[in-house]
Amino acid sequence: MRRPALMIGAGALVVVLVLVLVVVLVSRDDDDDRAEPAPAPTAGASASPPPAEAMTTVLASGFDEGDEGWQPLGDGVAVDAVQDVTRSGAGSLLVSGRSEPWHGGAVDLSGAMAQGQVHTVSAWVRLGDGAEDADVQLTLERDPGTAEPLYLHVARGTASSGDWVQLSGSAQVPEGGGQWRLYVETPESLADVRVDDVTVQRPTPAVQTDVPALRDVAAFPVGAAVGPQDLTGRPADLLLRHFDQVTAENAMKPVTVQPVEGEFDFGPMDEVLDVAVEHGLTVHGHTLVWHRSTPDWFFQAPDGRPLTSSEEDRALLRERLRTHVTALADHLAERYGDANPVTSWDVVNEALDPEEDDGLRRSRWYEVLGPDYVAEAFRVAREAFGPDVVLYLNDYDTDAPDRRRELVRLLMDLQAAGAPVDAVGHQMHVSLRTDVGRVATTLDAVAGLGLRQAVTELDVAVSDRDEQLDATPQDRLDQQGDQVRELVSAFAARDLAFVSVWGLYDTRSWLRTWPQDRPFEAPLLFDDDLQAKPAFWGFVEGSSAG
């Protein structure tokens, strides 16, 4: 159990005060009501952050997709991603059950912090309903394992139950190793705390210009999944230097686009699409029909009752599908017209389950509409987007023989039913253990059906899903380079519409927090400093091998 921050020894406190200058800013959603900045709790050398364009975001928690790796801090504390109150998007994090002031919510930042660099931290906070105003504090903690933890109190400000308040500040991260966490606590209150839109940023070296651009060496278009934090500064430099195409990592998912029935939010998606249009990138749309990232209301009657497979409920879900897809198509047509960059869509994502007789996952879509929901989704998409937009069935682990078998069966059924499926997306979340021969077998099987195909979400994990690394070993990065070379040469030898990686650089990978925290997982082509890894060179070599 960690020691309460307020009880650390005087010696440690002095170290903290000398090492850190904390800049605390407090602002409210309502700008007229801006509070005075709280006085910095210490004097000392200024730790002002570098210019914005030199910073990259190492943590961005919006809680629209669950707790995003945040953990309770203290006995009896609970952290829950909730959708009743949010500052932006679909959800926020509720920290409850606090019985000590230092109790709170924490997220692991090990592997994301750069020694000696000034990091900026920002979070929007609000207290639980009915709570009296109280200070909320953001603390960075380094636990060296062998000695006392170090606490950097990076921002503090008064929060209330009625309004979201932004806390932000900067702190220089000292030299020395250990596990890093960020946590939110209220030093003088036991109120529930809500948290949303947390970011941690750190300075990053310039993007390398002395390495080949992937888009120049590959015979196929090269894409990357991006979030809002990738569209400016150095991540944007990396994106525009190497890539032809983008997929919105989350911004086009149903939970983002239509969090509440009839209330569409195209803002996050437009941010991505505007950048694509400005720079001539194409966009692969992701995704329309999925068992995840779809708000609960989709599958509930207006009175909250779960939809059943009754005729009436089926009609309601079909209508919602059509409304959702048509609203997207209309918005794209209105905003972008002929310049619409979205050339393809993942229409149905992750439909397969080889454990089931018919090979189809028992999702809520399936439960209500039955197996025909897949064909129906393609028909709706074709009608809404027209004949020129390529419609994909997207799935993971398509190299596994049982999943390959069900994939081929589903595709043949769809073709027999006349469903307008054009292409297959292979997510390609693979590892050092993946057998490239199996990947090739699946690519050939799909080609044999006369369908187009693409690699939609490539990453190559260097650790097992339940393995905890305490650093990223160089030999695994070297093996990863070999694995990427083998994979990409299998791609280059076949006719693929594009190959996309699921994130620009390691810090941005979803595998850092899924299915558990793996702060030293490094599955992408560029490292935390946006520099080329052996995997990058494997990609370059594999591209020219085909």
The catalytic residue positions are 350, 457
Candidate residues 27, 92, 186, 427; the one interacting with ligand XIL per rule CB under 6 A: 427
Closer by beta carbon to ligand XIL, 458 or else 532:
458
Candidate residues 56, 349, 463, 489; the one interacting with ligand XIL per rule CB under 6 A: 349
Q: Please, what is the minimum distance in Å from the beta carbon of residue 290 to ligand XIL?
A: 7
| Site for ligand XIL contains 108 (CB under 6 A) | no
Closer by beta carbon to ligand XIL, 120 or else 349:
349
Q: Which helix (H) or strand (E) holds 271?
A: helix 267-279
Longest CA–CA separation in the chain, Å: 75
Q: Please, what is the minimum distance in Å from the beta carbon of residue 420 to ligand XIL?
A: 21
Q: Which helix (H) or strand (E) holds 376?
A: helix 373-385
- Residue 165's DSSP bridge partners are 28, 125
Neighbour order of strands in the sheet with 150-159: 71-73, 104-108, 179-185, 134-143, 150-159
Q: What is the size of the binding site for ligand XIL (CB under 6 A)?
A: 7
Candidate residues 124, 180, 510, 520; the one interacting with ligand XIL per rule CB under 6 A: 510
Question: Pseudo-torsion of CA 223, 539, 234, 276, nearest 10°?
Answer: -10
| Site for ligand XIL contains 344 (CB under 6 A) | no
Closer by beta carbon to ligand XIL, 204 or else 250:
250
Tokens of residue 214, six digits: 């992937």
Tokens of residue 452, six digits: 């187009």
- Upstream peptide bond of 434 is cis (omega within 30 degrees of 0): no
Binding mask of the shown chain, residues 162 to 181, with x at each position contacting ligand XIL by CB under 6 A = --------------------
Nearest to 235 by CA among 506, 477, 540, 500: 506
Instruction: Judge contact between 345 and 389, C-beta under 8 A.
Output: yes
| Site for ligand XIL contains 197 (CB under 6 A) | no
Closer by beta carbon to ligand XIL, 49 or else 295:
295
Tokens of residue 97, six digits: 């059950």
| Strand 71-73, strand 92-96: pairing | unpaired
Q: Which amino acid is at 181?
A: R
Find all residues with CB under 8 Å of 211, minimum gap 6, and list them. 532, 536
Nearest to 231 by CA among 182, 271, 203, 171: 271
Q: Tell me how long the chain is.
A: 546
Closer by beta carbon to ligand XIL, 56 or else 349:
349
| Site for ligand XIL contains 294 (CB under 6 A) | no
Tokens of residue 40, six digits: 């910095």
Q: Please, what is the minimum distance in Å from the beta carbon of residue 250 to ligand XIL?
A: 5
Q: Which amino acid is at 453?
A: Q
Candidate residues 86, 96, 166, 250; the one interacting with ligand XIL per rule CB under 6 A: 250
Candidate residues 5, 21, 65, 120; the one interacting with ligand XIL per rule CB under 6 A: 65
Closer by beta carbon to ligand XIL, 514 or else 537:
514
| Site for ligand XIL contains 56 (CB under 6 A) | no
| Site for ligand XIL contains 397 (CB under 6 A) | no
In the complex, which residues of this chain contact ligand XIL (CB under 6 A)?
65, 249-250, 349, 427, 457, 510
